[in-house]
Amino acid sequence: MNSNWDKLKPRTSYHYDSFKMDPAYDSMRYAGRFIGQWQTELETVVKSSTAITWRNRNPIDGTSPDIESEEYDLMRAGADPRLSLTNLEYQLHPVFQHMTDALGLVEGEKPIQSRVHIQHPGQVWNLHIDKLEKWNKADPHSVYRFMVMLNDWEPGHFIQYSTETLFTLVIGLEKYTVLIGTMYHIAQQTLEMVQDVHF
């Protein structure tokens, strides 16, 4: 069985050195903040969101053609291939859609994708490299991901981009914070170990 990780790793120029910090790759950049109130909408999203695995993570494009190798990476690490990664909600409330619109993003080969991630305690989005080049195959480095923190960081909420672990860099990461990064080279993972959900 072929590994999805092993397949994607050579395509990047990333250093893959656990003891090295290269700001060109090992960081998400602060891009600004949104100010507002959306607690009611968040409570609704928690109820309407759907738990996903690698196999059913993308209701728009369907199951990945690489699913066997993606699940193999989980099994190779000793995890259940049906591991629950997070909960997702693709139907955005107006307040969340307004955030997407305010970023001024330009569509590529596919429509802009916006969704809310709700990670419950015990859900793990294992270490992986995104395949976001489908938005611009000619220039995958032009594809960016924006993350908007919809609630405050708490101990036990773990987000890692390559060798940057966000809770060590931004202790007290606040809701409203917007982070930006290009995902073509970056390995990433998230883990929820607190007693409440995170977005």
Where are the chain's structural domains?
Answer: 4-192
User: In angstroms, what CA-CA distances link 122 with 49, 117, 172?
Assistant: 16, 14, 21
pLDDT, one tens digit per residue, over 28-78 is 777 778 888 888 999 999 999 999 999 999 888 899 999 999 999 999 999
pLDDT-derived band at 174 (thresholds 50, 70, 90) equals very low
Average pLDDT (69-94) is: 94
| Average pLDDT of the residues of the chain | 81
* pLDDT beyond 50 at 199: no
pLDDT tens per residue across span 98-119: 988 988 888 878 888 899 999 8
* Higher per-residue pLDDT: 57 or 172: 57
Residue 115 · residue 93 · CB < 8 Å: no
SS (H, E, C) the chain: CCCHHHHHHHHCCCCCCCCCCCCCCCCCEEEEECCCCCHHHHHHHHHHCEEECCCCCCCCCCCCCCHHHHHHHHHHCCCCCCCCCEEEECCCCHHHHHHHHHCCCCCCCCCCCCCEEEECCCCEEEEEECCHHHHCCCCHHHCEEEEECCCCCCCCEEEEECCEEHHHHCCCCCCCEEEEEECCCCEEEEEECCCCCEC
Q: What is the pLDDT of residues 124-145, one digit of tens each?
A: 888 888 888 888 888 887 888 8
Q: Determine contact, residues 22/56, Cβ cutoff 8 Å.
A: no
103-118 per-residue burial string, b: 16 or more CB within 10 A, e: under 16: beeeebeeeeebbbbb
